[in-house]
Amino acid sequence: MRSLLGSWSAAVVTACVAVELLAFPSIASAQSKETATGPARPQGVAMRPVSQTESNGEVALDRRATIRLDSAQHILFDGRYADAMTAFDAVLESGAARGNYSLTSWAQHGMAVSAALAGQVARARAFYDELLRGPSLFPLADSIEAAVLTGGRGAVTAMLDRFGLTHPSMLGQQYTHSFRALDLALNANCNGAVDEISQAPDAGRPLPQAIRGFCAAKAGHKAEAMMLRDSVLTQPLADHRSWPMIVARGLALKIH
């Protein structure tokens, strides 16, 4: 959920934000809609802009790192969390993303989400802390995602209230209600989660469906749960780079 404002027009930035939030079939992030080279670099960060004077070797290095990160993202999308963490970490350890905030934050975000969905809460918190130390266009959404997925319950409510007030659009409200419902569901309050989902502008998007399926399974409604699970996992236009979509798939994969 990162973007570069420095050289983009307002229209481009607005479009990216809209696409990010629409990925409820991507912000945290925090979830985010990524550029062709992963999360775009935020304004004010030291980076290596591609120019005519940049060496072919640096461009090739970024390209190889992007390909490796995209492969890791596919692994994460498929729910192979241990393998995804290994793949993201390998890019960081190789130094291929060094000096490129876009690629570094992409790998950090991937490791954080992988650990959280694998149930490694302490490890996920450490990865999110590292991610959030860097500049972000969406720091609040990234913080919400981190708190919801790692059990930071005390901070979630206040952050979601703030997000809802500052993002009154349909897309903003979709995000607010979906992540509030996710937080409730993960904290054994499925009645509250289902009520919250009913207030979302579109309860038929993947994350709300995953939450409803998760709660249906908890209530013993297996047929409904499996139907919703399959709907999330077979989304024909699902974007493997969308963090909210990956969270939705991670929740759906918990339904049995």
Q: Where are the domains of the chain?
A: 10-252
DSSP SS3 for 38: strand
- Identify the pLDDT of residue 62: 81
Which residue, among 153, 151, 142, has the nearest Cα to 175 in the 3D structure?
142
How far apart are the C-alpha atoms of 252 and 198, rounded to whole Å? 19
How many CB atoms within 10 Å of residue 203? 20
- Identify the pLDDT of residue 237: 85
How far apart are the C-alpha atoms of 27 and 153, rounded to whole Å? 20
pLDDT in tens, the chain (256 residues): 433 333 333 333 333 434 344 334 333 333 333 333 343 333 333 334 444 445 555 667 688 999 999 999 999 999 999 999 999 999 999 988 888 888 999 999 999 999 999 999 999 999 999 999 987 778 899 999 999 999 987 789 999 999 999 999 999 999 999 999 999 999 999 999 999 999 999 999 999 999 999 999 999 999 999 999 999 999 988 999 999 999 999 999 999 9
How far apart are the C-alpha atoms of 211 and 12, rounded to whole Å? 32
Which residue, among 191, 194, 167, has the nearest Cα to 178 in the 3D structure?
194
- Identify the pLDDT of residue 252: 98
- Identify the pLDDT of residue 48: 42
The secondary structure of residue 237, as a DSSP letter, is T
- Identify the pLDDT of residue 244: 93
User: Which stretches of 56-152 are assigned E, i.e. beta strand?
Assistant: none
- Identify the pLDDT of residue 152: 80
- Identify the pLDDT of residue 56: 56
- Identify the pLDDT of residue 10: 35
The torsion region of residue 3 among left (phi > 0), alpha (psi -120 to 50) and beta comes to beta
Q: Which residue has the tokens 């005390």?
A: 154
DSSP code per residue over 115-155 = HHHTT-HHHHHHHHHHHHTS--S-HHHHHHHHHHHHT-HHH
- Identify the pLDDT of residue 9: 35
The CATH code for residues 10-252 is 1.25.40
- Identify the pLDDT of residue 36: 35
How far apart are the C-alpha atoms of 59 and 56, rounded to whole Å? 5
Q: Which token pair is 8?
A: 């983009």
